[in-house]
Structure 1
Amino acid sequence: MTRDFRFPFLRLLPAVLVAAVLSGCASTHGLAPASTPRDADTLAVSKTFEGRLSDAAWPASDWWHAWGDPQLDALMADALRDAPSIDAAEARVRKAQAQAGLADEARRPGVRGTAQYSGAYLPESLIPENVGGGEYTGVSLIDLSFAYDLDLWGGKRARWEAAVDQAHAAEVDVQHARLMLTGNIARGYVALAQAHDLVDTAEREQARAQGMLDLARRRVGAGLDNTLNLRQAESAVAAARQQADAGRQRIDALRNALAALAGQGPDRGLALQRPRLGASADAALPSLLPSELLGHRPDVVAARWRVEAATRGIDASQAEFRPNVNLSAIVGLATGKLGDLFDPKSAFATGGPAISLPIFQGRRLRAQLAGADADYDLAVAQYDQAVLGALREVADALQASRTLDAQIASTREARDAAARARDVLASRHRAGLGTRIDVLNAERPVLQLDQQLAALRAQRATASADLAIALGGGTTPISPSLSSASNTP
């Protein structure tokens, strides 16, 4: 007699299935981020900022008003209104907000309705003659389907929160774009002022060299000198003229650049007159550095929001390791004849809960979580780099201001001494005790020192702008909590 071995196997099937489920379930063991955000107060800054921390206020949002130049104020207003870089940053905000809306919708119940009519032509070559050859059959269907993921472990909520954090970062990026734009315009405007100063100095040097040339011609004509000094004087005039022309070309280029930064055509640059910048303020820092600097720097705050988004990404990836419950239902009407579609007998319904469990997906889920951990570590590294960069920019601007103040003082002292020496020679010349050549030669170091002073004043004004930008330029973006990301498991 033949024995049937199927039934003992069937009795063992549940145990086999349980073993398969348990062996196929994924584990998060050994997966975690490798870093946490750095505390800015642990960075050594006391010696660098020694003697400069005070009760000074943070920069105002219109910090350039301190220079007292209405033309610059108008240029900044044009730029903040029309610059394409601001439009691009605002478009990225709208896109990020749309992504957050999609993530929010994904965690809500979904209802979808469909209406369908389908028919078939049955060919006579395949179907008997009494059915095929032109006969049609049709099915009419109207249904509503409902689906809802209970999201027991908050994975979808975490993805939505990550998208919201990314939208916050994009909003702060707009403030950063505005800050960078105003900084670039301020630097360009200072350079425009310096270019005008250089043209003035070059024209004065050209006039001095022309005086030397006239004297050389007279001396050669009188037989008192050879042509060597004449040729040297001609070369000096040409060199001064070239320097003045280069300065004017620099003015034209800066006008075009400033017009483009303001989102305008080059005619806007032609309307720019010579800048009238006031003196740069003394370099002073608020006493709450470095901790409060992080809340005033848009790039740092945006980086912090991205750390928060990466934290939520880890939460979402971890939630996929756990079982979940989905609810679904379908109700509708179905019939083979369109006229019977709304007959009560055509109604149907189906639905119920479904439990999902990640089986044999461990490698995919672990790789996904490892990627989320890496995204978090990358966001932390970028945040830490933003913090270090912010402190470096403050230190650079502060040290530049301090050094330039000393250089300006010593250069002005040297210029005043050179001017007094020139004045003495001019007095001797008027008294008939000296020559015109001595006066013109004495004028050259004065002009050279004037050129140095113009360059140093421009650098000092640029350092003042850099310090305002480094301190956040008056922005106060909303920053996330500093605790949640550091507690990521």
Structure 2
Amino acid sequence: MNSRTSQASAPKHSRRAFAIQASSIALSLLLGGCSYSDLKPQSHLQPAGDASDTLAQSGITLSPAAWPAETWWTTFNDKQLDSLVDEALAQSPTLRSAAARVRQAGALEAIEGASLLPRVDATASTTRERFSANGTTPAPVKGTWQNVDQATLNVGYELDFWGKNRAAVEAAVGRRHAVQVDSRAAALMLSASVVQTYIALQDTYDQLDVAQALLDQQVHIEKLTQQRFSAELGTQIDIKQSQASLPASRANIAALKEMIELNQNKLASLLGQGPDRGRTIARPHLRASNDVVLPSNIPAELVGHRPDVVAQRWRVEASGHEIEVAKARFYPNVNLTAFVGLQSLAFDTFNDHSSRILGFSPAISLPIFEGGRLRGNLDAQDAAYDLAVENYNQTVVDALRDIADQLSSLRWLKERLAQQKEAVDTAQAASDLVNLRYGAGLATYLQVLSTQNATLIQKRQLVTLQSRALSLQANLSRALGGGYRPEFSANAPVLPTVVDQS
């Protein structure tokens, strides 16, 4: 074969090799896409159910702009409570832990974001090496000890043709947003716990007032019984019965004082402080609002006002991007690497122009047989997406049930309070009448004791219902999101295989 023929055949050989390589890549792409076409998520995001009937039957005023304020606890008009919640939000270890998780999620997002940028590093080394006398190293170096000095600047970059790295970054963004919203949810739960414990503290103080009033009345009756006995209108049995009720009432007062201290300890713990802080908390003076107003579009906007719902929505978003990462692993990885530097066997010639080294290395990695690892990974990500979707759906259902529970309780509480006030007035009137008759010698002590117990029971129940009114007001604000307003919006994943599952 002459030289002209050889020169003509070289380009043909190059074109043939390029065509084979291109065909291999195209076949790899085709096989990669076909190898997971049967894998897809199975769950769907469900819209929030309608609540128009529940809102209409609640008997509460509706307003399009009645979502709670961020400082919803200030509606109780108690300055001490306001300062306690502010202290808890500033000092609680729970919230500091949540802030640390946010910083951690931000750092992981930065790590993922680094994959979108080139990697540049520098290396320098000096090696004392003996070269083989029978190797490829030519004379006069072979068979001798030499110092090999080398310094290079290295550059690497992955061409993200299939969007794997971009999807990984978006997934990290979604996880960071979820953790950020989780921290808001933690703040809401903490403030709600402080408010509920504060309400319980006030309830215990009110119960103590009832118990103390009963004890005072019993002391009065005991003196009256002594007077009746002196006037020969009563018996020694009446005196013993009147005296027997006093220790039981004093024991109940002691139990209530214990409960006050326990609630103060709990508040101190919620503030992130020791029990001494609780002893400085004075008696609460909460007032329930007479007018409770509800937003008229709860189902439509609940997903943006409840931090737990928003956080779950971001997890769905992140899981959708994780699916794209898993799909991109079926396709080739294309990496570019290059280096430039100096290499010399003698340090005195290290900076010479002739010591330059330079290299450029494009690399393609084609997944051919992974033993089902890639399919298993994608199937796992699909399952993780389904799990995130169902967790979101369940969170929405639970949120609506939470609101419905508060509305049902508020709806019937007004009637219960009215009836209970009437029961207290009736019991008190009966007790007063029996006390007058007893002082006049027309009633027995057993009648006095019976009416006292009936009045005590009714007054305790009234105090409990009044405390429940405060608790329901706080629970409703919490159930409506506690004034949360999202700083960013989680959009539905735009990935066809995630949204379109027909």
**Given the two structures, how large is their TM-score scaled by the length of structure 2?**
0.85
What amino acid does structure 2 have at the position aligned with 1:77?
Answer: D
Residue-pair matches, total: 463
Query: How far 1:424 sits from its partner (Å)?
Result: 3.9
> Does 1:401 pair with 2:410?
yes
**Partner of residue 327 from structure 1, selected from 327, 336, 341:** 336
8 A contact 1:205–1:444 mirrored in 2: no
Q: Which residue of 2 aligns with 1:151?
A: 160
Match of 1:369 in 2: 378
* Aligned position for 1:89: 98
The answer for the alignment partner of 2:321 in structure 1 is 312
Whether 2:150 is the aligned partner of 1:141: answer yes
Contact 1:144–1:331 (8 Å) recurs in 2: yes
C-alpha displacement of 1:163: 0.2
**Residue of structure 2 equivalent to 1:256:** 265
- Structure 2: how far apart are the matches of 1:101 and 1:465? 39
**Displacement after TM superposition at 1:200 (Å):** 1.4
Using the alignment, how far apart are the partners of 1:244 and 1:31 within structure 2?
A: 67
The 1-side partners of 2:433 and 2:256 are apart by 31
The residue that corresponds to 1:29 in the other structure is 37
Aligned partners of 1:212 and 1:440 also within 8 Å: no
Give, in angstroms, the shift of residue 218 of structure 1: 6.3
1:48: which partner in 2? 54
| C-alpha distance in structure 2 between counterparts of 1:405 and 1:339, whole Å | 96
Q: Give the equivalent residue in structure 2 for 1:446.
A: 455
Deviations 1:80-131 (A, max 9, x none): 1111111111111100000000000022111111001112479xxxxxxxx9
Q: 2:428 pairs with 392, 411, 419, which one?
A: 419
CA drift at 1:407: 1.3
- The CA deviation string for residues 431-472 of structure 1, in whole angstroms up to 9 with x for no partner, is x47459466654442232111111111112111111000001
Closer, same or farther: CA 20–429 of 1 in aligned 2, 3 Å: closer
Are the aligned partners of 1:283 and 1:402 in contact in 2 as well (CA < 8 Å)? Answer: no
Task: Letter of the 1:171 partner, please give it.
Answer: Q
Query: Do 2:288 and 2:473's aligned partners in 1 also have CA atoms closer than 8 Å?
Result: no
Q: Please say which of residues 365-374 and 259-268 is displaced more in the overlay.
A: 259-268
Partner-residue secondary structure (3-state), 1:48: helix
Aligned to 1:474, what secondary structure does the other structure show?
A: coil
8 A contact 1:400–1:460 mirrored in 2: no
2:490 is aligned with 1:480 = yes
Q: Name the counterpart of 2:122.
A: 113
Counterpart in the other structure of 1:128: none
**Aligned mates of 2:79, 2:444 — CA distance in 1:** 43
How far apart are the structure 2 equivalents of 1:252 and 1:404? 29
Provide the C-alpha distance between the structure 1 equivalents of 2:45 and 2:388, rounded to a whole number of angstroms.
Answer: 9
Whole-Å Cα distance in 2 between the matches of residues 236 and 484 of structure 1?
Answer: 73
- The aligned runs of 1:50-65 (5 Å cut-off) are 50-52=56-58, 54-55=62-63, 57-65=66-74
Deviations 1:241-300 (A, max 9, x none): 111111111110111111111222222211111110112344442111211111100000
CA drift of 1:408 comes to: 1.2
Query: 1:8 maps to which residue?
Result: none
Distance in 2 separating the partners of 1:442 and 1:28: 79
Q: In the alignment, is residue 469 of structure 1 matched against residue 478 of structure 2?
A: yes
Task: Provide the residue aligned with 1:165 in structure 2.
Answer: 174
1:198 match: 207
Question: How far apart, in 2, do the equivalents of 1:197 and 1:247 lie?
Answer: 10
Aligned counterparts of 1:456 and 1:119: Cα–Cα separation in 2: 87
Tell me, yes or no, if the aligned pair for 2:317 and 2:493 is still in contact at 8 Å: no
Unaligned ranges ≥5, structure 1: 1-13, 123-130
| Distance in 2 (alpha carbons) for counterparts of 1:37 and 1:68 | 40
The aligned amino acid for 2:358 is A
Distance 1:270 1:20 in 2: 75
- CA RMSD after TM alignment: 3.0
Q: Mean alpha-carbon deviation: is it higher for 345-354 or for 433-442?
A: 433-442
Q: Which residue number corresponds to residue 127 of structure 1? A: none
In the superposition, the TM-score normalised over structure 1's length comes to 0.87
Instruction: Output the CA distance in 2 between the equivalents of 1:342 and 1:390.
Output: 71
Equivalent residue letter for 2:333: N
Q: Quote the Cα distance in structure 1 between the aligned partners of 2:371 and 2:160.
A: 20
Corresponding residue of 1:285: 294
Work out whether residues 320 and 493 of structure 2, in 8 Å CA contact, stay in contact via their aligned partners in 1: no
Kept in 2, the 8 Å contact 1:21–1:359? The answer is no
Distance 2:436 2:227 in 1: 23
Shift of 1:480: 0.8
Hey, what does 2:46 align to over in structure 1?
A: 38
- % identity of equivalent residues: 38
Query: For the Cα contact (< 8 Å) 2:73–2:82, is it kept in 1?
Result: yes
